[in-house]
Amino acid sequence: MARIIPGRMTHRYDGELVVFHIGMQINRWWRPDLWLPAFFAMPRMLKELSLDPESGFLGYELLFGGGGPYVVQYWSSVEKLYAYASAPSQEHRPAWTRFNRVARKAPGAVGVWHETFLVERAESVYVSTKPMGLPQATELVPVGRRQDRAAARFAEGQTRHGDPVAS
């Protein structure tokens, strides 16, 4: 079990920052044959990404919402996120193909969704928590005297964006 970090902490990160939410909505809980394959595919993808420092994957948080599980992922670039999603030799593409095949057999039984955010600024504070979220994916640092208020952390929280067209 991860230890609690006492005190007030924030994150530090210099570079392009992408936050990606992806989840599934289980509409027919009584049909695990339709949603379990997608449910079990995500841990394989997260493991694959976590073991590949060149992937651009920075970290994740696994959460459960009203409709089912979802993952908040942190990436170093939109291009690397999309490269992973479309690579036929990695876990995502075959899992997506399998999901589509199953989804056609029972439309509406399970849904998937995602949202992608290119972050211009980010502010965070964590008080006496276990490592989690943005600082777990980037760098965890103590809140400094100049960063005592959220507005000050936000003002200093600008991320650096590369040219979105360049690779």
Q: How far apart are CA 29 and CA 157, in angstroms?
A: 41
Burial of 112 (0-12, 13-18, 19+ CB in 10 A): middle
Q: Is the pTM of this model over 0.75?
A: yes
Q: How far apart are CA 117 and CA 75, in angstroms?
A: 10
Q: Which one is predicted more confidently, 145 or 114?
A: 114
**Residues 42, 91 contacting (CB under 8 angstroms):** no
- Nearest partner of 19 among 58, 45, 52, judged by Cα: 58
CA distances (Å), origin 67, targets 59, 64, 77, 111, 144: 23, 8, 28, 9, 39
The pLDDT tens digits of the residues spanning 20-49 come to 999 999 999 999 988 898 899 999 999 999
**How many residues comprise the chain?**
167
The pLDDT tens digits of the residues spanning 41-91 come to 999 999 999 999 999 999 999 999 888 999 999 999 999 999 999 999 999
